[in-house]
């Protein structure tokens, strides 16, 4: 499981011109899922994510977490995170899980984040053509992968 985490001042996701998710200050999380991923991967990422100290404290040092700041979270599925570009110029998405496998794990991850934050997370619409707008705060962008980082 791979996620791109962006600290944002605000973010939103639209499908066919309709807003399906919006947050203020917090984290935009793009998530890619592969067949090797399990609920334990989702658990580990959710735990790491809500405790990741990437928000500034009163001294301007990144020392606070989403839990500390009571920030919001927007989770958007993005199969292209699993792209392989090793061969040729056209990315291969063979590592990305099919929807029948990925959707339950995506929903589990969102539910786990909701439980850990004790408030709902906003989401995109799995498998839809989405337009994501954000204002990256910092900018702060971090990549986490359960098969290499945790």
* Assigned token pair, 5: 């985490």
79 carries an active-site annotation:
yes
The model's pLDDT over 105-146, given as tens digits with 9 standing for 90+, comes to 999 999 999 999 999 999 999 999 999 999 999 999 999 999
Whichever domain contains 76, its CATH number is 3.50.80.10
Residue 56 placed within a domain = yes
Residue 40 placed within a domain = yes
**If DSSP codes are grouped into helix, strand and coil, which group holds residue 117?**
helix
Q: In the prediction, which pLDDT does 1 show?
A: 96
Q: Which of 6, 78, 123, 146 is catalytic?
A: 78
The model's pLDDT over 67-113, given as tens digits with 9 standing for 90+, comes to 999 999 999 999 999 999 999 999 999 999 999 999 999 999 999 99
Per the structure, how many domains does the chain have? Answer: 1
Closest of 44, 42, 13, 39 to residue 28, by C-alpha = 13
Residue 149 placed within a domain = no
Name the residue range of residue 49's domain: 1-141
Residue 137 placed within a domain = yes
CB-count burial class (<10 Å; 0-12, 13-18, 19+) for 18: exposed
Q: In the prediction, which pLDDT does 150 show?
A: 63
78 carries an active-site annotation:
yes
Residue 148 placed within a domain = no
**If DSSP codes are grouped into helix, strand and coil, which group holds residue 29?**
strand
Residue 63 placed within a domain = yes
Separation between Cα atoms, residue 47 and residue 38, nearest integer Å: 15
Q: Which of 6, 79, 109, 146 is catalytic?
A: 79
111 carries an active-site annotation:
no
């Amino acid at each position: 499981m791979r996620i791109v985490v962006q600290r944002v001042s605000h973010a939103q996701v639209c499908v066919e011109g309709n807003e399906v998710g919006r947050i203020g200050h917090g984290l935009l999380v793009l998530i890619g899922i592969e067949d090797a991923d399990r609920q334990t991967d989702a658990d580990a990422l959710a735990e790491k994510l809500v405790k990741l100290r990437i928000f500034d404290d009163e001294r301007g040092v990144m020392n606070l977490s989403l839990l500390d700041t009571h920030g919001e979270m927007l989770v958007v599925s993005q199969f292209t995170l699993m792209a392989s570009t090793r061969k040729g110029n056209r990315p291969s998405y063979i590592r990305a899980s099919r929807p029948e496998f990925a959707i339950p794990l995506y929903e589990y991850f969102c539910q786990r984040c909701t439980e850990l934050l004790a408030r709902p997370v906003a989401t995109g619409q799995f498998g839809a053509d989405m337009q994501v707008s954000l204002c990256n705060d910092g900018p702060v962008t971090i990549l986490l992968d359960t098969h290499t980082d945790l």
